[in-house]
Amino acid sequence: MSNNIEVKGLAHIGIPTSDLEKSIAFYQDLGFQIIVDQEGMEGNNFIFMECGGVIIGLPQSLDETVRSQAGTKGDGNIDHFALLVDDLDKTKKVLEEKGVPFAIPGVSTTEAWRPKSCRCIMVYGPDRVKIEFVELK
């Protein structure tokens, strides 16, 4: 028996939201589909959405004070999450057409994934959650 934790994969990414309907619409536009819809569970309305094996959880607090704090920075917040795409230029064009705000202008490149080439863009989702779209070739 090994003492190492055996991670099987990413279960989901939790993204607290102040406006559940706005968040659902945004992520549906990216191709996500609702897989769980639970109202009033553990002090939240919960939506889980999936696209390409990526699952995001969108809890919206039933407490208005807590809900209004969604998207504010605090200790331990994740900076962003990244989604893999096949065609970054097409993705960028679609996001621009939808009026999605870009966190960083233009397309960035990195050598972090050598020998593959990596191009990426960063946008803001609801509650200013940063979402990176990555093309690896």
Instruction: Look up tokens 């994934």; give the residue.
Output: 113
Residue 128 confidence class, pLDDT cut points 50, 70, 90: confident
Residue-level pLDDT at 113: 72
Q: Give this prediction's pTM.
A: 0.76
Residue of 137, 131, 119 lying closest to 31 (CA atoms):
131
Write out the two tokens for 53. 């094996």
In Å, how far from its chain's centre is CA 44?
19
Task: Of 114, 110, 118, give the one whose Cα is nearest residue 134.
Answer: 118
Rounded mean pLDDT of 2-6? 58
Higher pLDDT, 8 or 88: 88
**What pLDDT is recorded for position 73?**
64
Distance CA 11, CA 79 (A): 18
Residue 29 in this model has a pLDDT that exceeds 60 = yes
* Confidence band, pLDDT 50/70/90 cuts, at residue 76: low
pLDDT value of residue 20: 93
Comparing CA positions, the residue from 136, 82, 128, 84 lying closest to residue 103 is 128
**Span 18-25, average pLDDT:** 93
pLDDT in tens, 101-118: 999 999 999 877 778 888
Q: Are the CB atoms for 72 and 81 separated by under 8 Å?
A: no
